[in-house]
Amino acid sequence: MHFKCMPYTTVTLRQDVAKRLRKSRGVGESYSDLLERLLDAQPAKTVQEWMESLAPLEGRALFTEAGRHRLAADQCRPRDSRTRRKGNATA
């Protein structure tokens, strides 16, 4: 959303980059909104950031709050895959 009193900055882009940005814009989305969306969509740098990014998906059959806590705990104390396989093996 733009207002007359809002400050602005002119950015110079190569034409190929500007074309890619135009194609990426949603209907009614300003370039500021587009750039903000792209910047906010950066990949998580840590497991904790990734886990926090999943919070809005809770209840959509991906992870429950308990499941996220279990995943976070597993990151703190990873299981030994050899032991896990032995425990699940059938004789």
Q: For residue range 60-89, what is the model confidence (pLDDT) as tens digits? A: 656 677 887 888 888 777 666 665 555 555
* pTM for this predicted structure: 0.41
Asked if 71 and 88 touch (Cβ cutoff 8 Å), the reply is: no
CA–CA gap between residue 30 and residue 51 (Å, rounded): 30
Q: Which residues contact 58 (CB under 8 A, 6 or more apart)?
A: 64, 65, 68
- The predicted pLDDT at position 83 comes to 58
Calculate what percentage of the chain has a pLDDT beyond 70. Answer: 71
Ramachandran angles phi, psi of 18, nearest 5°:
-60, -40
- The ranges assigned to domains in the chain are 44-80
Q: Which residues contact 82 (CB under 8 A, 6 or more apart)?
A: none
- The predicted pLDDT at position 49 comes to 81
CA–CA gap between residue 58 and residue 10 (Å, rounded): 39
91 pLDDT tier (thresholds 50, 70, 90): very low
